[in-house]
Amino acid sequence: MARPPIALILSYVLDWLVIIVIAAIAGGLNFVKPNHRPFSLLDLDISYPYIGETISTGTLAVVSLIAPAIIILIVVGALVPGPRVSRTLGRGQAFRVKLWEFEKGWAGLALAVASAFFITQGSKNLFGKPRPDFLGRCQPDLTNIAAHVVGGLGQDISSRWTLVNSGICTQANTAVLNDGFRSFPSGHSSFSWAGLLYLSLFLCSKFSIAIPYLPLQPTTADSITRQRNEHELLPLHQNRGVSGDSNIHDTTGEAALVGKQPAHSPVTIRNYAASPPNYTIILAFFPVAVAIYISSTRYSQFYHHGFDVISGSLIGIATAILAFRWYHLPLSRGQGWAWGPRSVNRAFGIGVGTGGYVDHAEAGSDRIAGNGDVEGARV
């Protein structure tokens, strides 16, 4: 069995380095002083008490990053490449498929979390929005308000009916004070949704939890033949690394049904797919429920305003979906597989006019005519 080319391996090492750099920059932004937005001492929205948090940053990392990584490892170890495909693979091939799916599962998780972390941390510093518990952190000097006034037209009413700067704060802990200006968006919300929604999508992929999919074209014998030719049921691009694929393409049941029905028969269409068992919904929803709970604590414990929690959640949702689709096929069509590898001659980039990162001519060169077996696994 041929080993993957060094250039291809290095291209994926570079992918991981990019993710690590994004995460490192995001972590470094936590030490950058955020913008200190002026505030009013009479603003009730920032007058909540400064209390301890239920979900610490360490707990957040364990629940939203480490735990999903372990679950991904267990699921891939138990389910990949699956009983149907395993019959067609040797032990070495099966291990390489398993290793590929594991690496893509982790890469997607890392990309989702790192992206959400970077976007959130950068936004916090740029906006500098006070938290709901800001005045409790600030501990303002009420005896010297006039020295810190920066705006407001209510001075004739009261000396406190003004906007003041952070210089009025007597908080000795600079980290606590600076963190008080990082309300928007919610980092706990974005981080938890990024990691846990990604895990939910990953579980849906591997356990085939999806709304039944109906293609744009009705199912016919010709479409089934076309699917077989395009290798849509295989885990790797161009069927590389899989031998004896006739078992995987066992569509005799579908073909028999289509052969007995007219091309546009409703019976043919209704038997194309079926809904999964209802208990699988629990498996898919549990990570999402944990993300909802983590987000709720940031609002109930006065660390974020409602808009901050919603915004952070949307960031995490967006990065989770993007990262999942970056590395995995759609839930409705992918049958649980990650995308295959890039072609060697396109490992680091492509030029204008190039169709994509897979060279189909290069892929076809690995096929062995005669028995339909394929060598030269790309994972």
Q: Which residue has the higher pLDDT, 79 or 84?
A: 79
The verdict on residue 241 lying in a domain is: no
Count of C-beta atoms within a 10 Å radius of residue 320: 29
Domain count, the chain: 1
The verdict on residue 373 lying in a domain is: no
CA dihedral of residues 338, 339, 344, 346 (deg, nearest 10)? -140
Range of the domain at 335: 6-213+280-341
Angle at 271 between CA 268 and CA 276, to 5 degrees: 160
Question: What are the respective helix, strand and coil percentages of the chain, to the nearest 5?
Answer: 55, 5, 40
Residue 230 — pLDDT band, cuts 50, 70, 90? very low
Q: Which residue has the higher pLDDT, 335 or 160?
A: 335
pLDDT tens for each residue of 5-23: 898 899 999 999 999 999 9
The verdict on residue 356 lying in a domain is: no
| 84-93, 138-147, 195-204, 351-360: range with lowest mean pLDDT | 84-93
Strand ranges of the sheet holding 149-151, from the earlier edge strand across to the other edge: 39-40, 163-164, 149-151
Arithmetic mean of pLDDT, 65-93:
89
Q: What's the mean pLDDT when you consider all of the chain?
A: 83
- The proportion of the chain whose per-residue pLDDT surpasses 90, expressed as a percent, equals 58
pLDDT of residue 56: 95
The verdict on residue 265 lying in a domain is: no
- Residue 328: strand, helix, or coil: strand
Arithmetic mean of pLDDT, 132-159:
84
Decide: pTM greater than 0.85: no
- Pairing type for strands 163-164 and 39-40 reads antiparallel
Arithmetic mean of pLDDT, 128-157:
87
Which residues make Cβ contacts (< 8 Å) with residue 9, sequence separation at least 6?
Answer: none
The verdict on residue 348 lying in a domain is: no
Q: For residue 268, what are the CA distances in angstroms to 39, 202, 222, 265, 273?
A: 65, 30, 13, 5, 10
The verdict on residue 219 lying in a domain is: no
Q: Are 138 and 46 in contact (CB under 8 A)?
A: no
The verdict on residue 368 lying in a domain is: no
Arithmetic mean of pLDDT, 188-198:
98
Q: Which residue has the higher pLDDT, 371 or 299?
A: 299
The verdict on residue 203 lying in a domain is: yes
